[in-house]
Amino acid sequence: MSPVSNIKTLKIDGKDFSARQDETILEVARQNKIFIPTLCDLRGLSTVGACRMCLVEIKGTAKLLPACVTRVEEGMEVTTTSERLDRYRKSILELLFTERNHICSVCVSNAHCELQSLAQRLQITHVHFPYRYPKAQVDGSHPRFVIDQNRCILCTRCVRVCEEIEGAHTWDVMGRGIDANVITDLNQPWGSSETCTGCGKCVHVCPTGALFEKGRSVAEMLKRRNFLPYLTLMREERD
């Protein structure tokens, strides 16, 4: 009997790579400096494959697969850049811009926003789809933080960090499809939440200006994310 190898070899964009069998395509790509765009993914949090920015082509499969949740397989041939992928990624990003009211010029996260910078990186200079202009709520009832639904892209980083790292589970998602929203506790004002510890982790993992600190004006909200991998590591060592 030959021992089962836990190392897989695969091709990404024509180059050979080896990876542990529990690694995802995205992890292998990042280790090897291959850029795959992401929005919902954040190192230190679980992966959900919500934003679909990291879609890649895999030879033999007609479907596009999200690199963040697809594990490597022996002999896999992955393509991370193509005209088709570019078209899909741009469409997804443009739809995110139309879904809520992202007015970059007056946003607290202007110049520090992952949605904005990714749009620039993917060379989006305008949005082809009609904007929806929904009426979205701003909740400033928390003493230190604000949630502006106009800027939310439903990446669920806030939901995950609150549950997985802080252990409070104040945030969750309510509604389906276009009616989906992140909520605090039982869809009540954030300031009245009994579970929120006020730690601010949700604010700092948020990729856009949806969550920010009170008193920040246009382009003033800088997010600090470096704490996350350390906290995750310390938890793992304690366990």
Please give the residue ranges that form the binding site for other proteins (CB under 8 A). Answer: 97, 101-107, 110-111, 116-117, 119-121, 123-127, 130-131, 133-136
- The amino acid occupying position 144 is R
Compute φ and ψ for 224, nearest 5 degrees: -110, 120
- Taking the complex as a whole, how short is the minimal distance between the CB of residue 101 and other proteins, in angstroms? 7
For other proteins, the closer of residues 11 and 216 by Cβ is: 216
For other proteins, the closer of residues 131 and 227 by Cβ is: 131
CA-only gyration radius of the chain, Å: 19
For other proteins, the closer of residues 110 and 195 by Cβ is: 110
- Taking the complex as a whole, how short is the minimal distance between the CB of residue 36 and other proteins, in angstroms? 19
**Token pair for 82:** 């193509």
The DSSP line for 12-40 is: ETTEEEEEETT-BHHHHHHHTT-----SS
For other proteins, the closer of residues 63 and 135 by Cβ is: 135
CB atoms within 10 A of CB 174: 11
Q: Are 231 and 42 in contact (CB under 8 A)?
A: no
- Taking the complex as a whole, how short is the minimal distance between the CB of residue 82 and other proteins, in angstroms? 19
For other proteins, the closer of residues 69 and 127 by Cβ is: 127
- Taking the complex as a whole, how short is the minimal distance between the CB of residue 223 and other proteins, in angstroms? 16
- Taking the complex as a whole, how short is the minimal distance between the CB of residue 110 and other proteins, in angstroms? 5
In the sheet with 211-213, reading across from the earlier edge strand, the strands are 138-139, 145-148, 211-213
Q: Are 180 and 132 in contact (CB under 8 A)?
A: no
